[in-house]
Amino acid sequence: MDHLGKGVVQTGKRDIGMQQKSDKVSIQFDDGTTHETNYLLVADGIHSPIRKQLVPQSKPRYAGYTCWRAVVDATGLTLSEASETWGPKGRFGVVPLANNQLYWFATQTAPANDSRMSQMTTSDLLKQFGSYHSPIPDILSRTPDNALIWSDICDLKPLKTYAFDNIVLLGDAAHATTPNMGQGACQAIEDAVVLADELAREGRVSDAFQRFEQRRLKRTHTIIETSRRLGTVAQLDNRLLATLRNGLFRMLPASVNERQLEMLYQVDF
């Protein structure tokens, strides 16, 4: 930001569409203004209007479960590790944070955009997860209703293209994933690093966008599909299937999990 002149960055603008000409892009905003540019990095999230214009069939797909999250005070709780509990009423995840705080999330199988789910309070969630092991009920009890964030879990079916001449899609606009591997924001950050790397090379910017796409497609597709499958298995609420799953998971050697983590973390960018 220090390198940019005053007024270069404009906030509070909502793009609603664009017109791609041979060497320019004209962006339209909902305040009636337009902006013409040579190149466009599209990073406006899973509902990106510009991605929908470029790839009209790319609508967010619901994963079949909904999610509540909050950050709460964890004073008095002795938690040193993140954990996720899988049960017949849904999943409950706990992530200890710095400064005596804790992030939790809970998921439940539900129809998309269900008004009952959107209105759930902490005491409703306590009815749902109150029989789960300690400290889950305690964590819910210390969550004020106004700290709850509710969202249906969606992803994007993998796109074949992220680079469209002088336009490139980044982050959730390009490859939104379900959060089961905790990778959505991680992949957005990786995009930024890889794109900066490609832009630093000599040559045309649109070629850098192409090379960026080649470096990002496979990895982001694998994460979207693996994360979606993982969510389906984790979210099983049929008792018989869940019991089979739990038995199978107990039998799996730790090396299977480790291999999946290697795919994420041992990568030469």
Footprint of ligand FAD (CB under 6 A): 14-15, 43-45, 49, 67, 69, 105, 151, 171-173, 179, 182-186, 188
| CB of 15 or CB of 165, closer to ligand FAD | 15
> 44 or 124, CB closer to ligand FAD?
44
Minimum distance of ligand FAD from residue 25's CB (angstroms): 14
Question: Is 232 or 243 the residue whose CB approaches ligand FAD more closely?
Answer: 232
Q: How far is the CB of 136 from ligand FAD (least distance, A)?
A: 17
From the CB of 202, what's the least distance to ligand FAD, in Å?
A: 28
Closest approach of ligand FAD to the CB of residue 203, in Å: 26
CB of 129 to ligand FAD, least distance (A): 16
How far CA 235 is from CA of 63, 66, 238, 263, in Å, comes to 10, 10, 9, 23
DSSP 54-103: HSTT---EEEEEEEEEEEEE-TT----S-EEEEETTEEEEEEEETTTEEE
Which distant-in-sequence residues (6+ apart) come within 8 Å of 44 by Cβ?
Answer: 15, 50, 173
Structure tokens at 10: 């404009």
- Identify how many contiguous H helices and E strands the chain contains and give both numbers: 9, 11
- The CA distance from 140 to 121, in Å, is 10
Q: First vs last Cα of the chain: how many Å apart?
A: 25
Identity of the residue, 151 or 243, whose beta carbon is nearer to ligand FAD in the bound complex: 151
The smaller minimum CB distance to ligand FAD, of residues 112 and 186, is found at 186
Q: What are phi and psi of 199, to 5 degrees?
A: -70, -25
Task: Give the nearest distance from C-beta 251 to ligand FAD in angstroms.
Answer: 27
Q: Please identify, using beta-carbon distances, which residue of 62 and 203 lies nearer to ligand FAD.
A: 62
Residue 135 preceded by cis peptide, ω within 30: yes
